[in-house]
Chains A and B, each alone.
Chain A
Amino acid sequence: DSGVTQTPKHLITATGQRVTLRCSPRSGDLSVYWYQQSLDQGLQFLIQYYNGEERAKGNILERFSAQQFPDLHSELNLSSLELGDSALYFCASSVGQNSNQPQHFGDGTRLSIL
């Protein structure tokens, strides 16, 4: 058990809709990372937050946004969903702000767009 909790585990929705994925980091970790895993694009870094502040942006679409709350949990918001957004979304956490530290991954949220 990594200590990182992601909810929900599965999400099925339709094109054009909006969803929110939630992540609770491991106790004591201040950084939260979001990743997208799909068959065609592999594992892609989306965004990182550290102690409530955005720290780094990767290949995150403008339709996607995230935030980290004072209690350090994070939410990834996906809007105007398209078929191509179907993927496994992972959250990971680490102690510090630099990504040269090991990250602890949740088991992911599987998003299916119909």
Chain B
Amino acid sequence: AQSVAQPEDQVNVAEGNPLTVKCTYSVSGNPYLFWYVQYPNRGLQFLLKYITGDNLVKGSYGFEAEFNKSQTSFHLKKPSALVSDSALYFCAWPLYNFNKFYFGSGTKLNVKP
């Protein structure tokens, strides 16, 4: 079945260190892939998306993601983590006909001072 997977339930990083939140996909064809962030007691916020073109996508709040077709991955990265980055991060993709939208299981990012 086509899907995205987030292999880590939780990621712990020290402030100032680089962070990576992992996402792998099992989607036929050329996938569209998204990252969203959810802060406590809030709705999700769009961070970035990959459609086609450059494999490195830059998004909001200094985040970027690298699309890697050979490894079927779309990992979210940031060079220097902030305590305020602590949140729940979701990888997501629209089904091929673009009318349904599926989210990964989410990864909780904890950035410690």
Measured CB to CB, the residues of A under 8 A from B are: 2, 4, 33, 42-43, 45, 48, 55-56, 58, 90, 92, 97-100, 102-108
Contacts and interface: CB of A to CB of B under 8 A. Distances in A.
A109 B42 CA distance: 10
Interface string B36-74: 000001111110010100000000000000000000000
A2 B32 CA distance: 22
Please give me the 3 A-B residue pairs with the lowest Cβ-Cβ distance, nearest first: A105-B43, A56-B99, A98-B98
7 contacts: A42-B106, A45-B102, A98-B99, A100-B51, A102-B46, A103-B101, A106-B43
Interface of B: 32, 34, 41-46, 49, 51, 90, 94-95, 97-106
Given A48-B99, A100-B94, A4 B43 contact: yes
A42 B100 contact: no
B43 A42 contact: no
Contacts, number: 59
Contact of A2 (B43, B103, B105): B43
Contacts of A102: 34, 46, 49
Contacts of B43: 2, 4, 90, 92, 105-108
Contacts of A43: 44, 90, 103, 106
A99 B44 contact: no
Nearest to B99: A56
Contact of B94 (A55, A92, A99, A106): A99
